[in-house]
Amino acid sequence: MNRHPAKFCFVIHPLSLEDVARYEPGAAGKGAPIIRKILEWMPSYAAAHITGVRTPDGRETEGWFVAAPLLPEQLLELPREDVYQRILRAIEIGVELGANVAGLGAFTGVVGDGGVTIAERAPIPVTTGNSLTIAAGIQSLFRGAAEMGIDPAETTAVVVGATGSIGSACARLIAPRVKHVILVARNLTRLAKFHDEVRHTLGCASSYTTNIAEAVRHGRLILTATSSTHDVIEPEDLPAGAVVCELSLPHDVSRRVALERPDVLVTEGGNMCVPGNPVFERVREPGTVFDLNLPPRTALACMSETMVLALEHRLENYTLGRGIDLQKVIDIEAMATRCGFTLADMRAFDTAITPEKIAATREAAERRRQIPA
């Protein structure tokens, strides 16, 4: 069957003031209050054109990153309807450029009901990209365990953000492979209800708490996927030799962990290698690269999910809201593999994690375990 290739758009937003300067070099050096005010008034715009995404069997797609240029806290705090309008306008810009499916990046997929209302109002199908993020996060967590010589079946795992769209699915997928799972979130009522719903199906011992530091102290495998706008995982709470898989954007793990805990392996779990020869080009300055702050040919798993849906011509609302269908996670992982997407090499705190770094981390963990508590 010879079908017209589908195209995608993906709504992005700056995660921090440094990101604003990366998107708009002219913003560098301006004060935070001015930047915030400018962003409040700045309309959505096409930021990057992505070409060269090609599957091993020769299928191609192209697409656009369209910015709804608000910071995470602005997306959460500004009037909900204004935020929805900004995101919907970004999708319309994508449609005007030719997109057939839209992805919601970072907090544009978190705000409100996790994409449900946006999908109802958008002219094309919408996904948050969370299903492939979940699949990539699970692969990353257990890859980290293997690298650190941890046997998951003998280990306690902690899922931070366990009632969320990503966290709740991750909890259900991690539990059958570990000895004990601790679920963490802020809202105790929702957390207790979720635990009650799933505890008999988890396949391991389980508990829950709103005390992140306490939970983290007990787990050697930690996956974090919160919608917090500040650090939630601090170096003093992590046990020796822990593996932390970070899915949150902006990140949950304090940068102090990189400096103060050489015995802990932190890995950004949601990065994927894009097949073909992908080029991310700035729309306003053709010929210049749009800096995603990732290695070349690498994209976030949520972006990758949107690309996969275009490549596979699955023009449907794929992942929306909380309570994700685990079959969709399995299906998008298989589709992504068929399209040639692979888990990116390990990386954290803007640095690649080399085999030498892993060996040094294991040695530091061994040394720390020998220090009497």
Ligand X SMILES: NC(=O)c1ccc[n+]([C@@H]2O[C@H](COP(=O)([O-])OP(=O)(O)OC[C@H]3O[C@@H](n4cnc5c(N)ncnc54)[C@H](OP(=O)(O)O)[C@@H]3O)[C@@H](O)[C@H]2O)c1
Give residue number: closest CB to ligand X.
Answer: 164
- CB 207, CB 199: distance < 8 Å: no
Determine the residue type at 245: C
Q: How far apart are CA 362 and CA 146, in angstroms?
A: 11
Q: State the Cα–Cα distance between residues 101 and 59, nearest whole angstrom.
A: 16
Q: Please name the amino acid found at residue 178.
A: V
Instruction: CB nearer to ligand X: give 174 or 212.
Output: 212
Q: How far is the CB of 171 from ligand X (least distance, A)?
A: 10
Minimum CB–partner distance for residue 357 and ligand X (Å): 21
Nearer to ligand X, 129 or 276 (CB): 129
* Nearer CB in complex with ligand X: 10/263: 10
**CB of residue 112 to ligand X, shortest distance in Å:** 10
Least Å distance between CB 270 and ligand X? 2
- Least CB distance from residue 151 to ligand X, whole Å? 26
List all residues 6 or more positions away from 13 whose beta carbon is below 8 Å from its beta carbon: 67, 68, 69, 70, 71, 72, 75, 105, 106, 107, 108
Tell the burial category of 311 from Cβ atoms under 10 Å away from its Cβ (0-12, 13-18, 19+): buried
As measured in angstroms, the least distance from the Cβ of 102 to ligand X is 14
Residue 35 vs 301, nearer CB to ligand X: 301
Give me the least distance between CB of 109 and ligand X, in Å please.
6
In this structure, what token pair is assigned to residue 266? 């932190």
Specify whether the backbone of 321 is left (phi greater than 0), alpha (psi in -120 to 50) or beta. Answer: left
Whether the CB-CB separation of 333 and 262 falls below 8 Å is answered with: no
- Residue among 110 and 365 whose Cβ is closer to ligand X: 110
By CB under 6 A, name the binding residues for ligand X. Answer: 106-107, 109-110, 114, 129-130, 133, 160-167, 185-187, 190, 212, 225-228, 232, 247-249, 270, 300-302, 322
Residue closer to ligand X (CB basis): 67 or 365: 67
The nearest distance, CB 117 to ligand X, in angstroms, is 14
Amino acid at 251: H
Based on CB atoms, which residue is closest to ligand X, 198 or 364? 198
Please tell me the distance from the alpha carbon of residue 372 to that of residue 257, in angstroms, as a whole number: 21
- Pick between residue 94 and residue 114 the one whose CB is nearest to ligand X: 114
Convert 182-208 into a string of H (helix), E (strand) and C (coil): EEECCCHHHHHHHHHHHHHHCCCEEEE
Instruction: Give the residue among 65, 54, 53, 61 at the shortest CA–CA distance from 102.
Output: 65
How many whole angstroms separate alpha carbon 219 and alpha carbon 216?
Answer: 5
Query: Whose Cβ is closer to ligand X: residue 231's or residue 362's?
Result: 231
**Contact assessment for residue 143 and residue 165, using Cβ atoms and an 8 Å cutoff:** no
Minimum separation from the CB atom of position 58 to ligand X (A): 26
Number of H helices, E strands in the chain: 14, 17
